[in-house]
Amino acid sequence: MIQVDPSIKANYPVIIMGMHRSGTSILTTMLRECGLFVGWELDETQEALFFRRRNEKLIGICGGRWDNPLPVGLLLYNSELSGEVTSSLKRDVSSFRVLSFLGLRLYWRFRTLCAMDSPWGWKDPRNAFLLPLWLDVFPSARVVHIVRNGVDVARSLAVREKRRIGNPARKDHSLQGRFKRRASQMGKRPWLLYFLETSQRFLEHMSPLHRYNRMRVYGCDTLEGAFQLWNTYVAREMEVLAQLKDRAISVRYEDFLEAPEKILARLVDFCGLDAGLGRISGLCNRLNKQRKYAFLEDQGLREFYQEVRGCPLMERLGYSDL
């Protein structure tokens, strides 16, 4: 187990990554409650909007999206452009823009992320593809990774996508419908930042072409498409972990459910947090252990598993003989 020197805590963030629907949200929530600061302005999946927006923008300018992240390689392999991006990110993390991540109190105290003197980090599945850029900004960053078997991830993604497409609110183009969608997106976000963001995007939303954005199709509305996306993400994650070695720690979602206290204690130590066993035990009592290999309860998913169990990544991660 890696022992953390308290004197160097401010030198690195903890970057949390893992494929969508793999347990990153619950893991981030538990680390947050153990003392890891993961941002002031968060969405419902515990992603700091300061980092998520930048990751989305960087993938988007390459012609990609979260469900098609590979085009970001065009940027990473262009040394001149990637250098410009890194310079911009360095300016951002030391500018007033970090207010949305730090909040008023911490911003007044630090003004820049590089001055943080307590454990902090952020979670975003896209980190796997943009990590080279963030490591240029934070050279001593550490990575926490979680992986889940591809069948459960594929099922969860496909169900979420079908629910999105079938949601009646998505098809409501009235002013009231737009207001309801925007209100639901606010969640627990700071009202002032939400107001400013809404005002900034007002003109864009007035465009008659904006309604087509709600008709976008992702490549994960089928089990096959979602499983292929799992392959894309996990393959990249494995490359990242191999390069970082001792600066990264990886856990399987199923192992976490089986022995949560032991694994959470390892993660707490790795992140340099100060959480006692009582705190860790209380958090672990919230976990639903029935989510371990949930696909085994469904005949159709068991048949799909037989089709994909021979996938190299399923074999490599120990999911090929369940």
Tens of pLDDT, residues 56-66: 999 999 999 99
Is residue 189 scored above 60 in pLDDT? no
Count how many residues are written for the chain.
Answer: 322
Using one digit for the tens of pLDDT, what is the confidence trace for 17-45?
Answer: 999 999 999 999 999 999 999 999 898 89
Is residue 252 scored above 50 in pLDDT? yes
- What residue type is assigned to position 65 of the chain? R
Confidence of residue 281 (pLDDT cuts 50, 70, 90): very high
Question: Per-residue pLDDT averaged across 219-248, rounded?
Answer: 92
Question: Per-residue pLDDT averaged across 273-298, rounded?
Answer: 91
Question: Per-residue pLDDT averaged across 91-108, rounded?
Answer: 92
User: What percent of the chain lies above the pLDDT cut of 70?
Assistant: 80
**Of the candidates 88, 100, 92, the residue with the CA atom closest to the CA atom of residue 43:** 100
Q: How many of the other CB atoms lie within 10 Å of CB of 196? A: 12
Provide the 8-state DSSP code for 3: P
Residue indicated by tokens 């300016």: 91
pLDDT of res. 7: 42
- Cα separation, 148 vs 261, whole angstroms: 18
Residue indicated by tokens 């347990």: 23
Of 199 and 128, which is predicted with more confidence?
128
pLDDT of res. 205: 57
Bridge partners, 123 (sequence order)? 16
- Cα separation, 50 vs 65, whole angstroms: 17
- Cα separation, 308 vs 311, whole angstroms: 5
Contacts of residue 152, defined as CB under 8 A and 6 or more positions apart, other chains included, come to 21, 291, 293, 294, 295
CA dihedral 71, 74, 77, 80 (to 10 degrees): -140
